[in-house]
Amino acid sequence: FMAMHDVVVIGGRYGLGSKEFTPNMAVSVYQNLFQETPKPRFTVGITDDVTHLSLPVGEWLDVLPQGTRECMFYGLGSDGTVGANKSAVKLIAENTDLFTQAYFEYDAKKSGG
């Protein structure tokens, strides 16, 4: 353990402001690692105009296999769309040969207000 004096440790922040961490952001983190002198601290996915620690992010990368189908549904709190979408995802998963993945995001705002 003590003999590992040449280990470089870096760290960064991602997903700030509820932003997704995308494949092109992951590439920028690895590109930073491969630099001769990588940034020891960084942010990725936002323009950090305060501490100037942002890594440059390249163009969008499409990493989905050919033929992949995607659907995105939006709903408002208390209108039944979250429950309906959960049911739809479950029906698709149980009654087709398709794979499903669902992610539901909730906020702290009171519904109906």
Domains of the chain by residue range: 1-63, 64-113
> What mean pLDDT comes out for the span 67-86?
82
Average pLDDT, the chain: 86
- Selection from 101, 81, 103 nearest residue 92 by Cα: 101
pLDDT of residue 37: 92
* Coil/strand/helix, residue 84: helix
- Residue 80 scores a pLDDT above 70: yes
Which residues share a beta bridge with 12? 42
* CATH fold for domain 1-63: Rossmann fold (3.40.50)
The predicted model scores a pTM of 0.68
